[in-house]
């Protein structure tokens, strides 16, 4: 593909301007942003101004994404709306013959994801989920190490995405009817994808979980990200789960907006038959490996972890590369379906107090 990929944004708020536009602007010889849609005209105008500031021509602006999709020259779109509004624009864009990079989580639930995955399959278009942590240096280093057989079989992993005090006071993050859930679906999705990606994305079969909303609803608790109406807090503030997979592996998952703990750990630990590994994709000492050789135990650190300036930028680059070179989706929609199906089971288990089956068919 020699011509530039023509891209549109459906949703032009913070993640669109701070991540997706940066990615597209980083490869001006390969793509150009030609459309911007937002229900708020002023927000769309601000995003368009950033395109011009980056050296591009001013994109066309609309408040109705369906107008954008009638453009036969448009190749692809980023869907960067709130979670509740992922499914319809994504399905409509795929049915209109456009490739889609959709923000995480792919949907509010697994049923929405099934619709999106089916549309991508039927239209033979790329559906990529915006899960940038697999593009970090830690993920790249670990993927090569694991795929080389150095860990043996990974039979258990722990995934943590925990905040001591970190309720987003903006947007719709505390409203379950628009977000689908709290930290589990907002930041737990990142660490779980990171974990399953490195494990080869085994098929989940069942999960048991528990959620709490005590701290999130308690008036007066410190929240450095701003105050919010505690009476309107309808998501969980803490979730834990145990997930079983078809290959016999098990993953434990913990995620919080508010929890009384030290710091804000975002990490994954892997237990294999040949070695173990701790990964911290955002912090110092991102890779630690624990193994044995000739009857001696070794603790090792990764000394050649690649430096990645921005995983957000690199996920966009991967999307454009896949379009231009006719490659598979760098983060397939099916992975997003797995994640949402797991969350559905965990939320249901928290209500039924039973282990719940997971269905990833579509």
Residue 322 belongs to some domain of the structure: no
> Per-residue pLDDT for 22 more than 90?
yes
Contact 78, 9 (CB under 8 A): yes
- Which pLDDT does position 229 carry in this prediction? 96
CATH of the domain at 29: 3.40.50.720
- 25, 87: one domain: yes
pTM recorded for the entire structure: 0.96
- 30, 125: one domain: yes
- 199, 252: one domain: yes
- The residue from 133, 165, 186 where one domain ends is 133
Residue 122 belongs to some domain of the structure: yes
- 189, 115: one domain: no
- 207, 193: one domain: yes
Percentage of residues of the chain with pLDDT beyond 90: 98
- The residue from 95, 111, 133 where one domain ends is 133
- 280, 200: one domain: yes
Band (pLDDT 50/70/90 cuts) for residue 285 is: confident
Separation of alpha carbons 80 and 86, rounded Å? 8
**Which residue's entry shows tokens 């593909």?**
1
Residue 320 belongs to some domain of the structure: no
Residue 326 belongs to some domain of the structure: no
Give the tens place of pLDDT for each residue, 246-255: 999 999 999 9
Percentage of residues of the chain with pLDDT beyond 70: 99
- Which pLDDT does position 278 carry in this prediction? 98
Band (pLDDT 50/70/90 cuts) for residue 355 is: very high
Residue 203 belongs to some domain of the structure: yes
Residue 316 belongs to some domain of the structure: no
- 39, 108: one domain: yes
- The residue from 133, 163, 191 where one domain ends is 133
Q: What mean pLDDT, rounded, does the chain reach?
A: 97
Give the tens place of pLDDT for each residue, 46-103: 999 999 999 999 999 999 999 999 999 999 999 999 999 999 999 999 999 999 999 9
Q: Please name which of 327, 36, 359, 28 lies closest in space to residue 204, comparing C-alpha atoms.
A: 359
Give the tens place of pLDDT for each residue, 303-333: 999 999 999 999 999 999 999 999 999 999 9
CATH of the domain at 307: 3.30.360.10
Residue 77 belongs to some domain of the structure: yes
Token pair for residue 155? 């039979």
Q: Please name which of 163, 159, 183, 167 lies closest in space to residue 259, comparing C-alpha atoms.
A: 163
Q: Give the total number of structural domains in the chain.
A: 2
Token pair for residue 182? 């709290």
- 38, 175: one domain: no
Residue 319 belongs to some domain of the structure: no
- Which pLDDT does position 284 carry in this prediction? 81
Determine the structural domain holding residue 215 and report its residue range: 134-311+340-357
Q: Residue range 124-143: average pLDDT?
A: 98
Give the tens place of pLDDT for each residue, 26-50: 999 999 999 999 999 999 999 999 9
- 204, 174: one domain: yes
- 121, 138: one domain: no
Band (pLDDT 50/70/90 cuts) for residue 1 is: low
Q: Please name which of 276, 273, 304, 272 lies closest in space to residue 289, comparing C-alpha atoms.
A: 276
Where is pLDDT greater, at 285 or 182?
182
Q: Please name which of 10, 170, 21, 3 lies closest in space to residue 81, comparing C-alpha atoms.
A: 10
Sorted by sequence, the CB contacts under 8 Å of residue 351 that are 6+ apart come out as none
Band (pLDDT 50/70/90 cuts) for residue 2 is: low
- 66, 162: one domain: no
Cβ–Cβ contacts within 10 Å for residue 29, how many? 6
**Which residue's entry shows tokens 């994954």?**
268
- 82, 184: one domain: no
- Which pLDDT does position 352 carry in this prediction? 98
């Amino acid at each position: 593909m020699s011509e530039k990929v023509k891209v549109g944004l459906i949703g032009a708020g913070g993640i669109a301007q701070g991540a997706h536009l940066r990615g597209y602007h980083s490869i001006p010889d390969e793509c150009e942003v030609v459309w911007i849609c937002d229900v708020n005209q002023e927000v769309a105008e601000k995003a368009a101004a950033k395109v011009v500031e980056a050296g591009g021509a001013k994109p066309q602006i609309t408040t109705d994404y369906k107008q954008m999709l009638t453009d036969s020259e448009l190749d692809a779109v980023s869907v960067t709306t709130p979670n509740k509004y992922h499914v319809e624009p994504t399905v409509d864009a795929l049915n209109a013959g456009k490739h889609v990079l959709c923000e995480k989580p792919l949907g509010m639930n697994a049923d929405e994801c099934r619709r999106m995955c089916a549309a991508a399959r039927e239209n033979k278009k790329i559906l990529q989920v915006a899960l940038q942590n697999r593009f970090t240096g830690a993920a790249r280093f670990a993927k090569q190490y694991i795929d080389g057989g150095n860990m043996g079989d990974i039979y258990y992993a722990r995934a943590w995405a925990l905040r001591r005090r970190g309720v987003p006071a903006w947007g719709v993050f505390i409203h379950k009817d628009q977000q689908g859930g709290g930290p589990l679906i907002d930041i737990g999705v990142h660490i779980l994808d990171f974990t399953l990606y490195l494990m080869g994305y085994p098929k989940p079969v069942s999960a048991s979980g528990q959620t709490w909303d005590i701290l999130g609803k308690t008036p007066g608790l410190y929240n450095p990200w701003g105050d919010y109406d505690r009476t309107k807090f309808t998501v969980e503030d803490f979730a834990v789960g145990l997930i079983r997979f078809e290959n016999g592996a098990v993953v434990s998952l913990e995620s919080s907006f508010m929890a009384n703990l030290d710091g804000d750990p975002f990490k994954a630990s892997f237990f294999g038959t040949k070695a173990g590994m701790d990964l911290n994709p955002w912090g110092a000492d991102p890779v630690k490996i624990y193994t044995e050789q000739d009857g001696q135990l070794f603790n090792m650190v990764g000394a050649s972890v690649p430096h990645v300036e921005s995983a957000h930028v690199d996920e966009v680059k991967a999307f454009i590369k896949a379009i231009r070179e006719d490659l598979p989706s760098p983060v397939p929609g099916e992975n997003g379906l797995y994640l949402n199906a797991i969350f559905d089971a965990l939320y249901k288990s928290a209500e039924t107090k039973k282990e719940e089956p997971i269905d990833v068919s579509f």
